[in-house]
Amino acid sequence: VRFVEQYYPRWIRHLSSCKSPQQMLGSVIKAEGAPDGKRVVVVSVMPCTAKKGEAGLEKFRQGDCRDVDIVLTTQELVRMIDEAGLRFDRLEPDSLDSPFGLKTGAGLLFGASGGVSEAVLRQAAEESGAARDGLAAFQSVRGDLAVREVDISVGGTLLKLAVVSGLANAKALLARVESGSVEYDLIEV
């Protein structure tokens, strides 16, 4: 978001109005996790260092309370685990709590590059009554390639998607969009 705000302000109106999953969950935890008024500290573990800046944005505050208080990168967490001498192979198995009920498979998609695009495609298929056997094709938007461009038919409508990893790839893709050489219905960065 910040990248578009800074370098491509004319595209701001095309950005999703949704908070990121990190910020959505943080605000829900703050609202639901402290019914007695006690302070709740939300710690997020994310692979992307940009999430640290995101958590500090003014728009993700309720008064003087941030939706997400602390963001650790996965590398920072691994270093903390190593420094503490924790050995997961020596821990007794235990069950996790389920404060918000059971998870869905769609929720797992957001952790992978292209996961948001796949979730959008699944929702579009469901709303259009498209056959569920086409869901396997939706997985083509996920993966490790730095740039993925996919054309997928959903309910008789051809959707053009691009998924890019990294801002350098996003910049190159947006240059192609601005030149008119490509058009997309959805771009995920």
For the stretch 87-100, pLDDT in tens is 999 999 998 887 77
Which of the two residues, 83 and 11, has the higher pLDDT score? 83
Q: Is the pLDDT of residue 142 over 90?
A: no
Identify the DSSP state of 58.
G
Residue 135 CB: number of other CB atoms within 10 A?
14
Rounded to the nearest integer, the mean pLDDT of the chain is 85
pLDDT in tens, 149-168: 988 888 888 899 999 988 89
Q: What pLDDT was estimated at residue 126?
A: 82
pLDDT at site 102: 66
The burial of 161, by beta-carbon neighbours within 10 Å (0-12 exposed, 13-18 middle, 19 or more buried), is given as buried
**The pLDDT value given to residue 54:** 92
Pairwise pLDDT comparison (124 vs 71), residue with the higher score: 71
What integer pLDDT is reported at residue 116 of this predicted model?
82
The predicted pLDDT at position 111 comes to 65
Q: Tell me the domain boundaries of the chain.
A: 1-31+39-94, 108-189
H/E run at residue 2: helix 2-7
Pick from 33-42, 79-88, 112-121 the range whose average pLDDT is largest.
Answer: 79-88
- Alpha-carbon distance of 79 to 83, in angstroms, equals 6
- Residue linked to tokens 């769609």: 106
* 60 contacts 67 by C-beta, under 8 angstroms: yes
The answer to whether the CB of 41 falls within 8 A of the CB of 33 is no
Please answer whether residues 55 and 20 qualify as being in contact, where contact means their C-beta atoms are separated by less than 8 angstroms: no
The predicted-structure confidence for 29-62, as pLDDT tens digits, reads as follows 988 887 665 788 999 999 888 899 999 999 998 8
What does the chain come to in residues? 189
CATH class of 108-189: alpha beta
User: What 3-state DSSP class applies to 69?
Assistant: coil
Fold of 1-31+39-94: Rossmann fold (3.40.50)
pLDDT value for 37: 58
Q: Indicate if 108-189 has the same CATH topology as 1-31+39-94.
A: no
